[in-house]
Structures are given as structure tokens and as C-alpha cells.
Amino acid sequence: MTESASVTDSVTTARSEYSADVIVVGAGPAGSATAYHLAKSGLDVLLLEKTAFPREKVCGDGLTPRATKQLVAMGIDISEEAGWLRNKGLRIIGGGSRLQLDWPELASYPDYGLVRKRDDFDEQLARQAQKAGARLYERCNVGAPIINELTGHITGVHAKLGEPGSDSKDTTPVTFHAPLVVAADGNSTRLSLAMGLHRREDRPMGVAVRTYFTSPRHDDDYLESWLELWDRRGAQDRLLPGYGWIFGMGDGTSNVGLGILNSSSAFRELDWREILKAWCASMPADWGYTPENMTGPIRGAALPMAFNRQPHYTKGLLLVGDAGGLVNPFNGEGIAYAMESGAIAAEVIVQAQARATYAQRELALQRYPKILKDTYGGYYSLGRAFVKLIGNPKVMKIATQRGLTHPLLMRFTLKMLANLTDPTGGDAMDRIINGLSKVAPKA
């Protein structure tokens, strides 16, 4: 089935239409990647998305080589002719310095990143999952899980299904059934909460706000990161907490935003939309980051980091992407880890489905949290320590002023923050970063 399912037929349609091997809730990067890899392996997959495409998501829209690799693995056409803007690396600004670093040359990852708006990006991934055989239901608002009273396992979900292509608020109650369900429903992850999985308060959380401006800088081929944000509107310049970014979109606009971590004392005190406005007002006028050039509202979103919801598998439910708190605490990147966790979850599920007994399948599924911890646990522990350090503005200021004057140190920092190393071999920097990740606790 390669088109969005319709509810014009009677709800008494054959049960197989609403049954599958796996249900994936949420068609963002994590859900679509999971559904794609499951479908490519021959499993019957239902992909349930509460909105209709195209739809907007708050994001910086910049993709590192790590995310680019996952797009290639899904068979996405990432050519410039297909509307993708390539970037060569990262430009870092702070402490009175400006340093431009190319993405590292590695065997494991391409040496370029990409830029694409999320409203179009997410739809491309969802359609690719459809092409692979996943059955996508848009306007499908998932509610309560269906629980087997004897085992406590999830065996499906209740949902309200809207008519495709219609603005009508009329919905049809539908029950979807599968022996396994994947929660890819983002930071709010109502499905995980309904299964008793709550956010860990000891893990970092970030907030990002962003908007778009018409700008002559739209075709910049470097992602730009500002490690210092200044409010220059008053009699005295004021250093603001957080970090900023400017990503050229290649379509006449720039994505301009900022992020703040909850390790900062100002996390809950300030209006971040006003902080973004103040920062933009400090920039050169000819860049165009002025209110009259703003093409949309300022929007914000939470960034769940470092495994802030666990366990990643329990009672028939697997968590991927933001639902499992897989955002990188070093740099706030989420898309790469969403897609990677989707691919990992799919591989585990495929292997589990091939087992002969329930006990053997369950044993295979219990590997999923362990694989995630082996893959990211040590690195995320390092990131949690990093978050605590930079939450102190004095530490951040000293690091910026001294670090940016040492290009070799900053190349190491780029690899560390973007998690771009070759796992075997590589250079001395790779070996140091990989070694630190191995010895750090995998919590």
C-alpha cells in the first residue's frame, strides 16, 4: 500500500487493514527511518502520523555528515538538483575570534553536511518509507495503548483517524493491532507516558527557538555557530546565556536560532524569543535579520538529551529518537540519532521476529537497550559532564576566548561535539575520543 490510507470505507473493514507486524507511532525522522528499514526487511509496518504532510517542526535544519550518512542508507536523493544544500563544515564565532573548520575526512562518514527545511525533509523520509512498503496513515491521532491483561504487554493502540486531504475535524475511531509498537512520537511521547515511562530529571534538557529571515547570506556553505550571544541594545553590552546558529537555507532565507541548556541558571528565567530578537538586533543590518525580513513566527521546542527516558524497551514497546531522549548533549543534534536509533531498532525487531518462541523473541528484544548504551552511553556520559561545565557562563567565556585561538584544539573539539570519528583506525584524535567514550560510564 503506497498511498495514505482512507477512512471512507466502513470501520468494519477487514481487520488486517489495521493489523501489522509492527506499529510505528510518529512519522518524524526516527519513525520514518524505523518503518523504512522494517519494510525493506519484509515486515508489515503501520506508520501512524498525527498530522498531515507537509508539516512544520522546530529545528535548525542543518544536518551533519552523521545525518547525511543515514539519508544515503535510506536511498534518499540528496543531490543539489533534488533541493539539498550542501555545507562544507562549521564556522565558529566567539571570544573575538572566527574559525572556519571543514568536516573531517573519515572512512565512516561523508565529508559534507546538508540543509533542508523540516516541513519538506520529514515528508521525504515518510514517503520513502511508503515506497519501501510501510502503510502510512496521516491525520492519525494515537491515544491509549492496548494492553494484554495477562502479560502487561502493549498489543496495539487506539486512535482517531481523520480523512486524508480534508480539513474536517471529523474523525473515526480505529484500533490498530501489532505484537510490537515503536514510540517515535517525540519529546512529549504520550505513548511512553501511558506505559509508565517518565522523563529522568537527572538528564540534561535543552530548549531551541528559531525563525527565518530573508537574507543575502542564504547560500552560505558553512553552518555557523555563535558561542557568545550579546545584547547590545542598552548602555552596556550584556552577555546572554546559550549559543546561537545561522544556517543559510539556499532559498533566499536563513534559519537563525539559539539554544539554552537547563544547566544554565537562566534557563527558566528569561523569555527566549526576546533573547533571540535582542541577538538578531546586534547583527550587521545588511545581513537582513530584522523584523521586516522575518518570514515566519519565532517557534520553540524542547531537546531531550542523553537517554532521558528509559528503558528503551519494555513490554512490547521500543523507544526511538526524541521519545528515548537521544539528542546529543554536546551539540543539540537530534536527527542523526533519531535515524540511527530507528535503524538499530528495526534490525533488532527483524531478528526477534525470526525467533521461534515468545521467550526467544523477548530475549532478542531485550538487546535493544544494551546496543544503544554500547553505541552512545559512554559518549552521552561525557556530554552530560560537558553540559554541566558550559552551564557556567564564566567557564564558557574562558573556553571560547582561549580555545578558538588554537585551530588544532578546535578540530579536536569539532570531532568531539559532532561525534565524528572512525571507530577503528583513524587518527590520534579519533583514538582519544573513542577511548574516552569506552571508559566513561554507560548509564
Chain segment 8-40, per-residue pLDDT in tens: 333 333 447 899 999 999 999 999 999 999 999
pTM above the 0.75 mark? yes
Q: How far apart are CA 102 and CA 89, in angstroms?
A: 4
Q: How far apart are CA 208 and CA 198, in angstroms?
A: 22
Domains contained in the chain, number: 1
Q: Where are the beta strands (DSSP E) in 125-177?
A: 135-137, 140-147, 154-162, 171-177
Model pLDDT, residue 1 = 41
Chain segment 232-261, per-residue pLDDT in tens: 666 667 666 678 999 999 999 999 999 888
Domain assignment present for residue 314? The answer is yes
CATH code at 185?
Answer: 3.50.50.60
Domain assignment present for residue 407? The answer is no
DSSP, collapsed to helix, strand or coil, labels residue 418 as helix
Q: Could you identify the residue written with the cell 519484509?
A: 42
Model pLDDT, residue 271 = 83
Q: How far apart are CA 112 and CA 89, in angstroms?
A: 7
Helix, strand, coil share of the chain (percent; to 5): 35, 25, 40
C-alpha cell at 105: 575526512
C-alpha cell at 373: 548504551
Give the burial class of 287: count Cβ atoms within 10 A of its Cβ; 0-12 exposed, 13-18 middle, 19 or more buried.
Answer: middle
Q: Which residues of 144-178 are buried (b: 16+ CB within 10 A; e: fewer)?
A: ebebeeeeebbbbbebbbbebeeeeeeeeebebbb
pLDDT at 298 over 60: yes
Domain assignment present for residue 3? The answer is no
Lowest mean pLDDT among 95-104, 388-397, 406-415: 388-397
Domain assignment present for residue 349? The answer is yes
Q: Where are the beta strands (DSSP E) in 85-234?
A: 85-87, 89-94, 97-102, 113-115, 135-137, 140-147, 154-162, 171-177, 180-183, 205-214, 222-226, 229-231
C-alpha cell at 73: 542508507
Domain assignment present for residue 91? The answer is no
Tell me, what amino acid is at 235?
A
pLDDT at 301 over 80: yes
Q: How confident is the model at residue 275 (pLDDT cuts 50, 70, 90)?
A: confident
Q: How far apart are CA 416 and CA 437, in angstroms?
A: 10
Domain assignment present for residue 73? The answer is yes
Domain assignment present for residue 211? The answer is no
Phi, psi of 172 (to 5 degrees): -120, 125
Cα torsion 425, 430, 431, 432 to 10°: value is 180
Alpha-helix residue ranges (DSSP H) falling in 203-248? none
C-alpha cell at 422: 572512525
Cβ–Cβ contacts within 10 Å for residue 259, how many? 19
Chain segment 143-192, per-residue pLDDT in tens: 999 999 999 999 999 999 998 766 667 889 999 999 999 999 999 999 99
Phi, psi of 74 (to 5 degrees): -90, 0
Contacts of 236 (CB under 8 A, 6+ apart): none
Contacts of 60 (CB under 8 A, 6+ apart): 208, 210, 245, 247, 255, 257, 332
Phi, psi of 260 (to 5 degrees): -140, 145
Domain assignment present for residue 333? The answer is yes
Model pLDDT, residue 232 = 66
C-alpha cell at 240: 546572554
pLDDT at 355 over 80: yes
Alpha-helix residue ranges (DSSP H) falling in 100-143? 118-132
Question: What residue numbers bound the domain in which 173 lies?
Answer: 15-85+115-201+305-378
Share of the chain above pLDDT 90, in %: 68
